Amino acid sequence: MSPSGSEYIKTIRSQIDEVDPADVHGVLNDSVAIVDVRETEEFARGHVPGARHVPRGYLESRIDGVVADRSQRVILYCASGQRSALAANTLINELGFENVQSMTGGYTLWKDRGYDVVIPATLTPEQRERYSRHLLIPEVGEEGQQKLLNAKVLCLGAGGLGSPVSLYLAAAGVGTLGIVDNDDVDLSNLQRQVIHTTDRIGVAKVDSAEQSINAINPDVKVVKYRTRLDASNIMEIISGWDVIVDGVDNFPTRYLLNDASVRLGLPVVSAAILGFEGQLSVFSPYEGPCYRCLFRVPPPAELAPSCGANGVLGVLPGTMGLLQATEVIKLVVGAGDPLIGRLLMYDALAATTTELKVRRDPQCPICSREPSEISDEEMGVFPDYEAFCAAAG
């Protein structure tokens, strides 16, 4: 008389070698092939770290692509230990594998024991729709979109440059956006700072920016810093971000940011605007020049834009901010040639762009030395700011 299904499984399990999750946990980093034989949807919901995936239905056709050596130790698992027992039986008795075990209790027991699991990142159907135009370009694709969703980008300033940068990075799906700004929305901002609105005049810029970002893409987490960046807080604020976007409007903060970002090894996408002219570069510490290699000393005070109110064409920060956002996305997904060691200058009136090559300065007071050699006292060293502006008359 033929056995029932459950009797058959019981017999197979008595004939194969079973191993406890604790023992599997102990050999995770060894040269043992851990193979998950569950269905694709089960694997996608979470699996044992480092596990390779061969659904039981494809075992015979795909196992050679995953475990080429039949003498290699193989541990199979499924959800409960039944399918993996049957798969182990196939590998041993039909395919001649020599050292195969099945994990008792499967993935369920593994999780119950509290061992680490890997939840593979996959886009939800809504994300596939939202980012479908990114998925269609190979330079971004699903992998690049995941990188954007996992990226942490810090925008210094929610003003002219910070507005388009953070709006477009939010739309593009950068998962975490930090915003540092101490100001409130003012009527005179609205000619160019498109992240803010007339009904939010008087509201803190970080709160106003967060509202607009959430309205465009609720997936984006906004981290707000309602403060002025200074020597006492800069290291704490900029640590842990992947890319810094420099939209600050004054030289002392620029120098301070440069020195802190070199110490921390963080890339800075920097832009500056005045009148009809904009400049853009990417400072990647030790890979290319830093801001001080380019501007060893600040410009003459009378030319320093931050000493008073300066005019700017309303669309110019939009143009330059979107070039910044573009460089950020390229850095995150690893596509194209970032603007490292190059200074792009845009003249809106003439409608011309000019590019200058910029080299690392071997005598640079900051990046010619190791990060550990740069002291707190040296960071952001700059002529006294009040005196600097007073000299401008």
Give Cβ neighbours of residue 330 (< 8 Å, ≥ 6 apart).
336, 337, 338
* Binding span for Zn ion by CB under 5 A among 121-129, 195-203, 239-247, 360-368: 360-368
Site mask for Zn ion (CB under 5 A), range 19-58, x = bound:
----------------------------------------
The angle, 0 to 180 degrees and rounded to 10, between the axes of the packed helices 316-333 and 162-172 is 40
Shortest Å distance, C-beta 71 to Zn ion: 56
Task: Name the residue with tokens 């707000």.
Answer: 224
- Residue 75 vs 290, nearer CB to Zn ion: 290
Q: Which CA distances in Å does 226 have to 127, 152, 229?
A: 30, 18, 9
Does residue 358 belong to the site contacting Zn ion (CB under 5 A)?
no
Does residue 63 belong to the site contacting Zn ion (CB under 5 A)?
no
Does residue 268 belong to the site contacting Zn ion (CB under 5 A)?
no
Tally of CA atoms within 13 A in the half-sphere of 121 that contains its CB:
11
Does residue 364 belong to the site contacting Zn ion (CB under 5 A)?
yes
CB-based contact 276:313 (threshold 8 Å): yes
- Residue 209 vs 367, nearer CB to Zn ion: 367
* Binding span for Zn ion by CB under 5 A among 40-48, 145-153, 183-191, 289-297: 289-297
Does residue 374 belong to the site contacting Zn ion (CB under 5 A)?
no
CB-based contact 165:245 (threshold 8 Å): yes
Does residue 92 belong to the site contacting Zn ion (CB under 5 A)?
no
Shortest Å distance, C-beta 293 to Zn ion: 4
Residues 300-329 that bind Zn ion (CB under 5 A): none
Give the binding-site size for Zn ion (rule: CB under 5 A).
5
Shortest Å distance, C-beta 364 to Zn ion: 3
- Residue 293 vs 331, nearer CB to Zn ion: 293
- Residue 179 vs 293, nearer CB to Zn ion: 293
Q: What is the strand order of the sheet 52-53 is part of?
A: 17-19, 99-103, 73-77, 33-36, 52-53
Shortest Å distance, C-beta 340 to Zn ion: 13
Nearest of 15, 19, 10, 14 to residue 73 by alpha carbon? 19
Q: Residue 47 has what DSSP assignment?
A: B
Does residue 254 belong to the site contacting Zn ion (CB under 5 A)?
no
Tally of CA atoms within 13 A in the half-sphere of 55 that contains its CB:
8
Shortest Å distance, C-beta 47 to Zn ion: 45
Shortest Å distance, C-beta 223 to Zn ion: 28
Shortest Å distance, C-beta 387 to Zn ion: 25
* Binding span for Zn ion by CB under 5 A among 180-188, 295-303, 340-348, 358-366: 358-366
- Residue 161 vs 367, nearer CB to Zn ion: 367
- Residue 325 vs 367, nearer CB to Zn ion: 367
Shortest Å distance, C-beta 22 to Zn ion: 53
Q: Which two tokens stand for residue 263?
A: 């110490």
- By CB under 5 A, name the one of 195, 245, 367, 379 that touches Zn ion: 367
* Binding span for Zn ion by CB under 5 A among 79-87, 172-180, 359-367, 381-389: 359-367
- By CB under 5 A, name the one of 92, 290, 304, 312 that touches Zn ion: 290
Q: Which CA distances in Å does 206 have to 95, 153, 200, 219, 325?
A: 63, 15, 11, 17, 18
H or E segment and range at residue 281: strand 277-283
Q: Which two tokens stand for residue 80?
A: 């409960």
- Residue 157 vs 285, nearer CB to Zn ion: 285
CB-based contact 344:355 (threshold 8 Å): yes
- Residue 335 vs 374, nearer CB to Zn ion: 374
Does residue 292 belong to the site contacting Zn ion (CB under 5 A)?
yes
Q: What is the strand order of the sheet 176-180 is part of?
A: 221-225, 176-180, 152-156, 243-246, 268-274, 277-283, 342-347, 352-357
Give Cβ neighbours of residue 282 (< 8 Å, ≥ 6 apart).
267, 268, 269, 270, 288, 327, 331, 338, 339, 340
Task: Report the interface residues with Zn ion, using CB under 5 A.
Answer: 290, 292-293, 364, 367
